[in-house]
Amino acid sequence: MISAKAIAARIETLAKEIQTAFKGTEKLVVVGLLRGSFVFIADLVRELDLPVEVDFLEASSYGSGMESSREVRILKDLRGEIQGRDVLVVEDIVDTGHTLHHVVNLLRSKGPRRLETIALLDKPTRREVDVKATWTGFEIPDKFVVGYGIDYAQRNRNLPYIGAVRFT
Ligand code: IMP
Ligand code: MG
């Protein structure tokens, strides 16, 4: 669906925009949401010419029958402090929006100076909560995708490109 080359080119552009937005920052805490964002965050921070700290957060959502009433739980919290800091949350895909919505609320409650979000992929037609990342790599249709860190039952994270899964 999206080639490694297209991803790299898009990240270069996004990194320039992020650099402009956070110009002069004392330190930017880049928070990757595990596990899906690990490849994206690795490529993104290497394009950022800013003082950067990298941290990770793991959230997991549990269906309770109805997707729209999903509960998001924090499985691994941040190691560092973000109070008074500039923060960039890095997500792989914004799908229903529950995860990003919950994580942003949680991190905002810790009093960052500024908090922005970036998602590599966005499936706007799937949205159940009104949330949008500050920056988005690519908008995609409602297809299940893998690769570039993103899995299907923990497989295919190592593909260098984004592919759509064909369910036959
Ligand atoms: P949301 O809370 O529904 O926005 O869920 C977002 C999370 O669901 C992402 O961080 C992914 O981990 C997972 N997800 C959503 N769509 C896909 C997909 O197409 N492939 C793999 N994981 C997905
Ligand atoms: Mg995820």
Q: Residue 65 has what pLDDT?
A: 47
Q: Decide: helix, strand or coil at residue 122.
A: strand
Q: Assess whether the C-beta atom of 99 lies below 6 angstroms from ligand 1.
A: yes
Given 55, 95, 122, 142, the catalytic residue: 95
Task: Give residues with Cβ within 8 angstroms of 55, minimum separation 6.
Answer: 29, 30, 31, 32, 78, 79, 80, 82
Q: What is the pLDDT of residues 30-45, one digit of tens each?
A: 999 999 999 999 999 9
- Sequential DSSP letters for 10-58: HHHHHHHHHHHHTTT-S-EEEEEEETTTHHHHHHHHHH--S-EEEEEEE
Q: Which ligand is nearest to the CA of 97?
A: 1
Ligand 1: atom nearest CA of 92 is 10
Q: What is the pLDDT of residues 42-99, one digit of tens each?
A: 999 999 999 999 999 999 876 554 455 578 899 999 999 999 999 999 999 999 999 9
Q: What is the pLDDT of residues 140-151, one digit of tens each?
A: 999 999 999 999
Q: Residue 119 has what pLDDT?
A: 98
Whose tokens are 């929006």? That residue is 97
How sure is the predictor about 103, in pLDDT bands with cuts at 50, 70 and 90? Answer: very high
Residue with the smallest CA separation from ligand 1 atom 3 is 96
Q: Decide: helix, strand or coil at residue 107.
A: helix
- Based on the residue annotation, tell me whether 95 is a catalytic residue of this protein: yes
Domain 4-164 fold is: Rossmann fold (3.40.50)
Q: What is the pLDDT of residues 111-136, one digit of tens each?
A: 999 999 999 999 999 999 999 999 99
- Is residue 162 within 8 A of residue 144, CB to CB? The reply is no
Q: Which ligand is nearest to the CA of 94?
A: 1
Distance between CA 106 and CA 28 in Å, rounded?
Answer: 18
